[in-house]
Structure formats: C-alpha cells, structure tokens
C-alpha cells in the first residue's frame, strides 16, 4: 500500500491512500530547463475508516489550500507543487466520499521560473519612425526569492536592443529607449518589464549615441498675391529616458543647416538669414523645438532689414494745401532678439525722423503735384510704434506745403501801412454855425509801416539750435527786417516805436513790434 503525503499531511490516513497518476512533460522556452509533472490523486474515504465524512472533507480542503509545497509518493519527492483543482462530486453512496485532486509540480534544471514570455513587436508610426516594443515576463516560485528570480530573468532578456529579423532598419545603433515600464504582482510572484525603442530611419543624425531623435516638417507659402515665397521649417528634437537637456541642445541644427533643409524640401533658393526664429525647450517632456522662417525676398539684399512703406497724397481745394502721408514698417529677419537689435540700431542711426520720412513724401509730391511749392521740413504729425515683444517697428508722418519758416512750428506776422496823404485840416466857421473850412497846407504826410512778428520754435529746435534769447531775437529781427524791406517807404526812416519779448528755452519763442516812419511818398489821394 502506497504512502502519500502533501506538505507532510496525510488526511486519508495510512490505510486508505488515493490512487496516484503522474505524467511528465519537459519545460521549455527556447531550451529545456526542467520538467513539468501533472499529478492526479483519485480516492475515496469510507465513514467506517475515516470517521465523520464532513470532518474529512474539511481536512482535505485545509491540506490542499496551500501551493508550492512538497508531495511525496512512496519516497519519491516532488517539489514546487501547485494545486490546480480539488473536486468532490455529488455522492451516490451513503457513508462514502469520492475526491479528485489535480496537481502540477515543477522540477527545474536551472532557472526556477514559470510562464516565461519574451515578445518583440514592431510598427511604423505616423511620422515614419519605427517603434519597437520588447516585453519579457515570468512567474517565480518560492515566494519572494521566486519573484527576484523572475525579475532577474526578465531583465536579462531586455538588457539590450532585441535581436530580431526585420526589414525596417531598426538597430541598436540608431534606436533610443523612449519608455520603460515595470509591472510587479508580489502576491502571484509575477514580474513584467517593457522597453519601447524609437528608431528614426529617415534622419541619420538620430542615434543612441546622443539619445536624441529628430523630426522636421516644412510648410511652403506661395500665392499670386504674395510678393515673395516663404518656407517655414520646424524641427522637433525628442529625447529618450536617458536623455538630458544637454543632449537635446547639442543636437540643434545651425541656421545654415535649417536653410539647406528648407531649400531641399521646397526647391526654392532662400535668403541666408531667417525672418523669424524661435526655440522652445521642454526639459520634463524631453523635447526641444526649433522653428525658422525663410523667404526669397530680394529687398533684403545684404541687410537684415528694409523699410516697407506706402505714400498717399491729398489736396485741400479750399486752402490749396497739399498733404503727403507716409505709413510704413521696418521689415526685419532673424530671431526675436536679433530683430529687436536691428530695430534699435535703425532708430539710433536716424538723425531726424522727419528728415528720413520726408524723403519718401517728397518723391511722391514731386511725381504727382509737380513741385509747385516745397514740402515743409517739419511734419504736421508723426508717430513711432515700437513693440519689442513682437519685434516690430512702425513709422508714420504727414507733411504739407503750407507757408512756413524753417525750425518753427508757428509763425505769424501783420503789417500795417499808412501811406502819404495831403495834410489838410478842417476849421470851424467863425461866423456861421455848422460850417467848416478846409485848409490844405500843401505838403504830404509821412508814410508809416507797423510790423508785428510772433515765432514759436518747433520741438527739437530748442536742443538743436540752442533756442536762447539771442537766437530768438535774431530770428524775429530777421523776419521783421524782411517785412520792412518789402513794405519800405521813401528815404531813410526813423523808428517811431519798438518792442520785443523772448521766452525761455522750454517754450522757445518770441515777438517783436517795430513802427517806422518814412519820408512822404507818392500821395495816395489827390485833392
């Protein structure tokens, strides 16, 4: 009679053991490392032998409630035994209990793991990169030590790029790990590890050496209305699990390389410098994005900027004054910082905004109006709109051909002329009330000229010209002399009255009044 025990227990007693059936199968995963034993224990218990059948059933269940124990059959020991099932069918006989127990035992030659799995999957992504997913898993035995064994085995399977036969060009030299995950179940002693590799088979600079992959997209803008063609290139540098921000930065493309790639893709010969350039860094997301915009605008030439403008001309039919307006923007290229620098350099180079913008207006004025007069050197209005956050500069100004005096925003003058007249006096009659006599003395009165001049210097003139009292006095004196020269009478005059004022430099301006008397000239009326 056979002696059968499980984990040292013998619930059926020594006199009524079950029948044992053992089936042996090799345990393989690429190579044989052990045997699997399928063991069936089929028996019955009689109430007359084991006593109370309910008690026996509970003892049977309690004994085979644990896994990974030792089974002994007549001295033959089976280790690593797992309970697959315990079946107690409905009883047909009173006083008898049938049962069937199915067990699996594992006898390892080397690594003590169960359910080994090593899979490799490959797919082509939307960006034409190759994704390789390598997963290894196993189930250990003997509790914690078994989990450690399963982990060691699975990690050894994914220690490097998988050796697979593929036609997609993925190799250990051009692939980087972008994701690594572990799954651990300590209750079941199972361990799984997955590594995902990204292979850029298009860009040869992507490799495991620098732990960076690259992807670029190119957008070409071209239309019949546009003055030039524009090409925008975006290069995304992506890192793997072991990549650093330094790796991403070292993989940046130079401006020359970006231009070359844009030209190759678009077939357009582009300017050497981009009109726009940006760099975005995402250290946590392991990404760096370069954006550059190039065009074939020939207006740049060797410079990094040019002034793009429009001019409009209008005439006031009532006053006859012609106004010319210019509205433009400084077009720059390069990164934001370089565009701002170019704008600042441009503004620094301007000695006078009015002088720069008047040139564009003067050309249009001559072409359209034919130069009947001369545009004022001082604009009637002007504006500078500078936005350093966007790297833009807009300029505008309006000039007209009203009468003006250079360097003065306002000028006015009046001339009052009293010409020569016969000197006649009226006298009341000494004999007749209400009657007068007129006496002609036979000579003409002197001619008088009264001038009143007022000047206000324009903004900037105070610093440019000094706007001192002496300067204002000289300006008002010159205008006064001009007026008196235009309306001068006969002979050498003498000054009847004279006055002047000069304001300070903050309100640079002044006035002058001169009253002169001349010899009698031609009589205005004849008596």
Torsion of CA 318, 319, 321, 322, to 10 degrees: 0
Query: Helical H runs in 141-254?
Result: 143-157, 245-250
Minimum mean pLDDT among 120-129, 162-171, 326-335, 352-361: which range? 162-171
Model confidence band, residue 464 (pLDDT cutoffs 50, 70, 90): very low
Instruction: Give the model confidence (pLDDT) of 336-357 as tens digits.
Output: 888 899 999 999 998 889 899 9
In whole angstroms, what is the distance from residue 208 CA to residue 213 CA? 9
Is the pLDDT reported for residue 463 higher than 60? no
Tell me phi and psi for residue 239, to 5 degrees: -105, 165
In whole angstroms, what is the distance from residue 8 CA to residue 66 CA? 12
Domain 4-108 in CATH 1.20.140: no
List the structure tokens of 322.
């012609």
Mean pLDDT of the 429-447 span: 82
Segments making up each domain of the chain, as ranges: 4-108, 113-199, 212-295, 305-334+347-400, 408-519
Q: Give the single-character DSSP code of 507.
A: G
Model confidence band, residue 459 (pLDDT cutoffs 50, 70, 90): low
List the structure tokens of 123.
């797919």
Give strand pairing partners of 191.
Answer: 138, 184
Instruction: Give the model confidence (pLDDT) of 299-316 as tens digits.
Output: 887 788 889 999 999 988
Neighbours of 201 (CB within 10 A): 16
Neighbours of 94 (CB within 10 A): 7
């Amino acid at each position: 009679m056979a002696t059968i025990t499980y984990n040292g227990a013998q619930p059926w007693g020594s006199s009524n053991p079950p029948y044992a059936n053992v089936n042996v199968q090799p345990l393989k995963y690429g190579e044989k490392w052990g045997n699997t034993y399928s063991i069936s224990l089929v028996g019955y218990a009689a109430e007359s032998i084991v006593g109370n059948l309910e008690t026996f059933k509970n003892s049977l269940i309690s004994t085979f409630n644990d896994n990974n124990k030792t089974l002994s059959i007549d001295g033959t020991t089976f280790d690593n035994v797992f309970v697959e099932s315990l079946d107690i069918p409905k009883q047909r006989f009173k006083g008898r209990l049938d049962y069937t127990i199915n067990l699996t035992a594992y006898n390892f030659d080397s690594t003590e793991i169960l359910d080994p799995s090593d899979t490799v999957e490959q797919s082509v992504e939307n960006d034409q990169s190759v994704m390789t997913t390598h997963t290894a898993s196993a189930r250990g035995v003997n509790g914690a030590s078994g989990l450690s064994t399963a982990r060691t085995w699975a990690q050894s399977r994914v220690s490097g790029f998988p050796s697979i036969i593929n036609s997609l060009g993925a190799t250990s030299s051009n692939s980087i790990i972008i994701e690594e995950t572990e799954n651990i179940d300590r209750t079941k002693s199972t361990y799984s590890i997955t590594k995902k590799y990204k292979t850029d088979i298009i860009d040869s600079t992507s490799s495991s050496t620098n732990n960076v992959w690259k992807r670029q997209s190119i957008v070409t803008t071209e239309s019949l209305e546009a003055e030039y063609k524009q090409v925008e290139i975006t290069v995304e540098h992506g890192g793997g699990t072991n990549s650093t921000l330094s790796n991403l930065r070292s993989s940046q493309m130079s401006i020359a390389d970006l231009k070359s790639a844009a030209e190759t893709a678009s077939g357009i010969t582009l300017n050497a410098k981009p009109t726009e350039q940006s760099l975005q860094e995402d250290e946590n997301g392991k990404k760096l994005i370069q954006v550059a915009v190039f065009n074939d605008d020939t207006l740049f030439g060797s410079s990094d900027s040019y002034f793009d403008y429009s001019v409009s001309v209008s005439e006031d039919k009532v006053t006859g004054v012609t106004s010319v307006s210019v509205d433009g923007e400084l077009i720059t290229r390069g990164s934001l910082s370089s565009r701002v620098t170019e704008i600042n350099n441009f503004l620094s180079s301007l000695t006078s905004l009015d002088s720069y913008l008047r040139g564009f207006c003067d050309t249009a004025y001559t072409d359209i109006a034919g130069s009947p007069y001369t545009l004022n050197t001082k604009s009637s209005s002007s504006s500078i709109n500078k936005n350093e956050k966007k790297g833009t500069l807009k300029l505008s100004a309006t000039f007209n051909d009203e009468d003006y005096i250079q360097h003065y925003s306002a000028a006015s003058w009046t001339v009052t002329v009293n010409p020569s007249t016969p000197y006649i006096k009226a006298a009341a009659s000494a004999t007749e009330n209400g009657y007068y006599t007129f006496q002609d003395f036979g000579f003409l009165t002197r001619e008088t000229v009264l001038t009143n001049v007022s000047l206000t210097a324009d903004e900037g003139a105070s610093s440019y010209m000094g706007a001192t009292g002496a300067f204002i006095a000289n300006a008002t004196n010159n205008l006064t002399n001009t007026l008196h020269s235009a309306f001068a009478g006969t002979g050498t005059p003498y000054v009847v009255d004279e006055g002047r004022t000069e304001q300070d430099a903050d309100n640079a301006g002044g006035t002058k009044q001169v009253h002169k008397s001349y010899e009698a000239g031609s009589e205005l009326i004849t008596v």
